[in-house]
Amino acid sequence: MGAVLVALLVPGLAFAASPVSQQQNGDAPPPVEGATMRVGLQQQIDSLNPFLGYTLASTDIFRSIYPTLTTYAADDFSVEPELAESWESSPDRLTWTFRIRDGATWSDGEPITAQDAAFTYNLMMTDSAASSANGTFVENFESVEAPDDGTLVIRTKTPQSTMLAIDAPIVPEHVWSGVDDIANFTNDEMPVVSGGPFTLTEYEPEQYVTLEANEQYWRGPPKIDELQFVQFKNSDAAVQALRKGEIDVVQKLTPAQFDALADEENIEQVRGQGRRFYEIILNPGATNSENQPIGSGHPALTDVRVRQAIDHAIDREAIVERVLGGYGEQGGGYLPPIFADYHWSPPPEQRRGFDIGEANRILDEAGYQRGEGGIRRTPQGEPLNFDFVLHGDESSDTQVGEFVKQWLRDIGIAVELQPVSDSQLGDRTTAGDFDMVISGWSANPDPDYVLKLQTCGARPSPDGGGLPDTFLCDRQYDELYDRQLAEFDPAARQDLVKQAQQRFYEQATGLVLYYQNSLEAYRSDRFSGFTTQPADNGVVTAQQGFWGYYGAVPTEAAATTGSGQGYGTVAMALGGAVVVLGAVGGVVLLRRRATADTRE
Amino acid sequence: MTGPAETPEAAESEEREPSRWGRFLAGKLGGAAVSLVLVAILGFFLFRVLPGDPARAMTQGAPVSGEQLAELRSRLGLDQPLWKQFVDYMVGLVGGDLGTSYTYSRPVTELIGERLGPTVLLVGTATGLAVLLGLWMGTRAAWRHGSAFDKSATSVALTLWSVPTFWLGLILLMVFGVGAGPIPGLFPVGGMTSSSPPDGLLPQILDVAHHLVLPSLTMVAVIYAQYLMVMRSSLLEEMGAEYLTTARAKGLREDLVRRRHAVPNALLPTVTLIFLHLGLVAAGAITVETVFSWPGLGLLLFEALRVPDLPVVQGVFLVMSASVIVMNLLADLVYRFLDPRVRES
């Protein structure tokens, strides 16, 4: 063992003196012109087909290579023209006309026209496989037509205010019209014909993806020449790779990893507001779309007073400090504060602060008397003992579970923690088979989708279809939801969205505990700046757009040194050492064999 | 492991030999084939009890409607009755088709093909090195059992064996990948190739070799102890044997007695162990593959189980089982070939 190690190290010791950042260009590939940015990826790319890929990793790639009608501004998520340079809607709000910009081209030189957009949306409306990932955007479309190359006309069944948030990638008709079977089309013919700021040129599954700058991009080419996503299967390795300079950007850091990078020179930390909210669902008496009760919720939780009392017993400040290491904001309203236009925060007179005394008072008043062992009972005599279902492989869930269990014991409620796998948790949530369960969603700049989760319509059908969240089914909430979807005045819509959140907060079916920060870091010796989204406290990767990668400014060092890791010499020496060792060993063995034969 | 097939004939003659081998082979091959079919059937039903709805897991967090989920399920064939799914699966299997992955929307055979190479490379290299190291050290340790070498070699090996693979991998990654103190970062932190591979075949081979060092070193450190211990104990058993006394009486040098008489006999149990280990090739690498982001089969299975991506899970299960079955078969054959006592029984 020791001998082997030494043999491996000796050739390398010669390079011990050279710092990491200096490249050994001995046998390294010749430096490329311009800079390559390598982003550590900790999630699988499920498909390169933009109609099928669900994961954030895939979505991030699609955003960088395919155009959309409109996009979200880097500064503040406001609507920004992309392929459509202007738009108008008819007086009845049912017909939308988009002017498609002139002069944009696909990477193979063909012009991008309204025909491409019409083809894409029609495909999503008619082919079930094509509607897999982004079908919700076209659910309410009546028809999509392109009367000429510069005009796209979309008619909707009912007025919808989300028409400037159609986040579906638009694909080239001349490539995709020949695809018979969308479900089995892998879209890995390189280079992939695309029209965004980057072009996909190389894909090694489970290893890396290479995108090259699109010199023809109508906004102008990106400042970097190449964008690479390098797969890492565990985040610790990705952090080490950043420290070493093997990659330039890491995302999804844990608080501990983030803190560990604080003193590293050449590494800049980015602490951005997250798009996720983290909530505890209290089963309010789950029903399906036919209004039949389903699942196994505890009857006491159908009482809004019990749900509100539980909220009073949760110390959000402690959870943010202890579970997130301070990297997050205390929860209140439903939508995260990163979307400032829509975020609602309960005013002081409505906010349910951490107050065990108040929680006990509410429960006493509501007639839940303490019984044996200090556990409260319903007026019918049933003890308040709740199942709390959590993700078994998430440490944050485990910690939150333990805290909540202790606090609820103080108000006379017994909690049994039930850690399960992700898919089991999803199944039990949909079936209403829980008293308390952890949930959470990533919100989009347009709040419609997450708001819809709390409507009666989101409840599962009797055959188990559907995607419910808290099983709230409240007429007042639904009315506010419908009104905001049909409201085209931005200020008025924001107001309705806030009212809906207020109603959701009062009902206390979902207790939003926190909004987690998004923790990233990059090599400041190779990149001097990124466009963050939003401008203040924004993120660099996985944006609602491509601004971070598009606006990244490479330093002199990054532009002049190749991305070759300069291991050529070391590798050669190593390889040589191994070969020599093997040869010597072999010769020795053979000789000993030979002499042994003669001796016997 | 089943023992070699008994042959009822007591009378043995030279010309009967091939037919006995033939019958033995046929029996073994038949057994292996039956096992494979059973594994295929078992695998299908076994993974059907996994909790979780693949359609929901795949679309986790994406804006999808209930109708879309239903469509997705019907596209995956999950809405078919179980017997129908089973028949489709078996029919596909006969044609060498393992179905299409849910998550990757690609044929499972393609996915497995892509990942099998890296895993075989990693585990093959590591097992090869571990066998050499373990056998050599085990032999030394047994021959001079009780010596300082014996004590230190066994205790080091046992210590490494009991260290968690994940932890050891991360330590090696930090010390030799990133660099610690005077030690520079000599090896890549993850992956199998550089993200911009060099041009030319030899540089590319070296690039892969360079990435291979740390993961295979981790694996060797963890597994070589088993070979060392088995070799050591089986050699110790042989050491009192009378034929060794005979060999010494013939005046042979001590190392010849060891190499030409004791070791070959002691190797028998070790050979079996090596083959059985090779059978577990894919399964054994999951942890190391995870630490070093090695694009192998173990990782594919791990991620597929979470969904559960049934076609992938079934496919990998089948490949892993097949490798165990085939290696078992080989172990039986090689054992019979190596050990005259078994051959004559």
A543 to each of A20, A61, A80, A228, A486, how far by Cα in Å? 30, 11, 14, 16, 27
pLDDT class for B324, splitting at 50, 70, 90?
Answer: confident
Closest residue in A to B61 (Cα) is A441
* A237 at B interface, C-beta within 8 A: yes
Distance from CA of B44 to the nearest CA of A (A): 19
According to the model, what pLDDT value does residue A471 have? 94
Structural domain includes residue B47? no
* A179 at B interface, C-beta within 8 A: no
Structural domain includes residue B6? no
Determine how many CB atoms are found less than 10 A away from the CB of residue B161.
Answer: 16
**Rounded CA separation B173/A319 (Å):** 33
According to the model, what pLDDT value does residue B145 have? 85
Element of type H or E holding A390: strand A385-391
Contact call for A46 and B179, based on CB within 8 A: no
Arithmetic mean of pLDDT, B13-35: 77
| Proportion of chain B above pLDDT 70, given as a percent | 91
Pairing, β A276-282 against β A436-442: antiparallel
Under a CB-based contact definition with an 8 Å cutoff, are residues B112 and A55 in contact? no
**What does the block give as tokens for B21?**
């081998």
Helix (H, G, I), strand (E, B) or coil at A504: helix
According to the model, what pLDDT value does residue B179 have? 80
A351 to each of A308, A337, A365, how far by Cα in Å? 11, 16, 20
Structural domain includes residue B16? no
* A296 at B interface, C-beta within 8 A: no
Contact call for A234 and B293, based on CB within 8 A: yes
Under a CB-based contact definition with an 8 Å cutoff, are residues B62 and B71 in contact? no
Contact call for B179 and A600, based on CB within 8 A: no
Structural domain includes residue B220? yes
Distance from CA of B209 to the nearest CA of A (A): 7
**Rounded CA separation A45/A56 (Å):** 8
Contact call for A139 and B303, based on CB within 8 A: no
CB-count burial class (<10 Å; 0-12, 13-18, 19+) for B177: buried
**Rounded CA separation A583/A596 (Å):** 20
pLDDT class for B63, splitting at 50, 70, 90?
Answer: low
Under a CB-based contact definition with an 8 Å cutoff, are residues A61 and A542 in contact? no
**Rounded CA separation A265/A242 (Å):** 12
Q: What per-residue string of b and e applies to A487-515 under the rule 16 or more CB within 10 Å gives b?
A: beeeeebbbbbbbbbbbbbbbbbbbbbbb
According to the model, what pLDDT value does residue A470 have? 93
| Residue found by looking up tokens 């579906």 in the block | A168
pLDDT profile of chain A (600 residues), mean per 10 = 39 33 35 75 90 88 95 91 94 94 93 96 92 87 95 94 90 94 90 94 91 93 93 89 92 92 91 93 93 93 95 96 94 93 93 94 94 91 95 92 96 95 85 94 89 90 78 95 92 96 95 95 90 88 89 83 51 59 65 52
| CA terminus-to-terminus distance, chain B | 17
Chosen for mutation from B75, B105, B112, B253 (greatest number of chain A CBs closer than 10 Å) is B105
Higher pLDDT, A143 or B199: A143
Contact call for B105 and A46, based on CB within 8 A: yes
Chosen for mutation from A127, A233, A469 (greatest number of chain B CBs closer than 10 Å) is A233
Distance from CA of B271 to the nearest CA of A (A): 20
Closest residue in A to B178 (Cα) is A244
Structural domain includes residue B195? yes
Q: Which residues in chain B have their CB less than 8 angstroms from residue A591's CB?
A: none
Residues in chain B: 345
Contact call for A565 and B59, based on CB within 8 A: no
Per the structure, how many domains does chain B have? 1
Q: What are phi and psi of A130, to 5 degrees?
A: -70, -15
Q: Which residues in chain B have their CB less than 8 angstroms from residue A276's CB?
A: none
State whether the Cα torsion A199-A201-A206-A208 is positive or negative: negative
Closest residue in A to B210 (Cα) is A571
Residue B257 DSSP class: I
Under a CB-based contact definition with an 8 Å cutoff, are residues A546 and B176 in contact? no
The number of C-beta contacts closer than 8 angstroms across A and B is: 230
Quick one: which of A495, A435, A423, A496 has its CA closest to A471? A435
Quick one: which of A153, A140, A51, A168 has its CA closest to A100? A153
Which pLDDT tens digit goes with each residue over A296-330? 999 999 999 999 999 999 999 999 999 999 999 99
Question: Which residues make Cβ contacts (< 8 Å) with residue B7, sequence separation at least 6?
Answer: B20, B23, B24
Residue A532, amino acid? T
Q: Where are the alpha helices (DSSP H) in chain B?
A: 17-48, 54-58, 66-76, 82-94, 108-143, 148-162, 165-172, 201-239, 242-249, 254-256, 263-279, 281-284, 286-291, 297-306, 310-338, 340-344
Statement: residue B7 has pLDDT above 60:
no
Under a CB-based contact definition with an 8 Å cutoff, are residues A25 and A31 in contact? yes
Helix (H, G, I), strand (E, B) or coil at B299: helix
**Rounded CA separation A546/A405 (Å):** 42
A437: which strand partners? Answer: A281, A389
Closest residue in B to A25 (Cα) is B198
According to the model, what pLDDT value does residue A514 have? 96
pLDDT class for B182, splitting at 50, 70, 90?
Answer: confident
Q: Where are the alpha helices (DSSP H) in A154-272?
A: 173-176, 235-244, 255-260
Q: Which residues in chain B have their CB less than 8 angstroms from residue A444's CB?
A: 63
* A590 at B interface, C-beta within 8 A: no
* A189 at B interface, C-beta within 8 A: no
Contact call for B177 and A207, based on CB within 8 A: no
* A475 at B interface, C-beta within 8 A: no
* A392 at B interface, C-beta within 8 A: no
Distance from CA of A234 to the nearest CA of B (A): 6
Q: What angle do CA A364, A366, A371 make, to 5 degrees?
A: 50
Q: The domain spanning residue B310 has which CATH number?
A: 1.10.3720.10
Q: Which residues in chain B have their CB less than 8 angstroms from residue A582's CB?
A: none
Q: Which residues in chain A have their CB less than 8 angstroms from residue B248's CB?
A: none
Picking from B206, B294, B306, the nearest residue to A572 by CB comes out as B206
Higher pLDDT, A199 or B81: A199
Closest residue in A to B195 (Cα) is A208
Question: Which residues make Cβ contacts (< 8 Å) with residue A287, sequence separation at least 6?
Answer: A293, A294, A432, A459, A471, A473
Distance from CA of A546 to the nearest CA of B (A): 19
Statement: residue B117 has pLDDT above 60:
yes
Measured in whole angstroms, how far is the alpha carbon of residue B262 from the centre of its chain? 28
Closest residue in B to A450 (Cα) is B63
According to the model, what pLDDT value does residue B67 have? 75
Distance from CA of B9 to the nearest CA of A (A): 37
Structural domain includes residue B66? no
Closest residue in A to B225 (Cα) is A1
Q: Which residues in chain A have their CB less than 8 angstroms from residue B72's CB?
A: 132
Structural domain includes residue B197? yes
**Rounded CA separation A291/B270 (Å):** 66
Closest residue in B to A565 (Cα) is B194
Which pLDDT tens digit goes with each residue over A455-492? 998 898 887 666 788 999 999 999 999 999 989 899 99
Q: What per-residue string of b and e applies to A227-256 under the rule 16 or more CB within 10 Å gives b?
A: bbbbbbbbbbbbbbbbbbbbbbbbbbbbbe
Higher pLDDT, B16 or A561: A561
Distance from CA of B24 to the nearest CA of A (A): 34
**What does the block give as tokens for A307?**
């749900």
Higher pLDDT, A307 or B65: A307
According to the model, what pLDDT value does residue B345 have? 55
| Relative orientation angle of helices B82-94 and B17-48, to the nearest 10 degrees | 140
* A218 at B interface, C-beta within 8 A: no
* A49 at B interface, C-beta within 8 A: yes
Question: Which residues make Cβ contacts (< 8 Å) with residue A385, sequence separation at least 6?
Answer: A298, A375, A413, A414, A415, A416
Helix (H, G, I), strand (E, B) or coil at B259: helix
Distance from CA of B13 to the nearest CA of A (A): 31
Higher pLDDT, B78 or B13: B78
According to the model, what pLDDT value does residue A380 have? 92
Statement: residue B295 has pLDDT above 60:
yes
Under a CB-based contact definition with an 8 Å cutoff, are residues A470 and A454 in contact? yes
Q: What domain range includes position B308?
A: 112-344
Chosen for mutation from B206, B208, B286, B287 (greatest number of chain A CBs closer than 10 Å) is B206
According to the model, what pLDDT value does residue A400 have? 96
Structural domain includes residue B301? yes
Q: Which residues in chain A have their CB less than 8 angstroms from residue B303's CB?
A: 44
Which pLDDT tens digit goes with each residue over B242-290? 888 888 888 888 888 888 888 888 888 888 888 877 777 656 678 888 8
Contact call for B303 and A424, based on CB within 8 A: no
The DSSP line for A118-157 is: HHHHHHHHH-TGGGTTTGGGGTTEEEEEEEETTEEEEEES
Q: Which residues in chain A have their CB less than 8 angstroms from residue B53's CB?
A: 423, 426-427, 430
Rg (CA), chain A: 29
**Rounded CA separation A294/B75 (Å):** 27
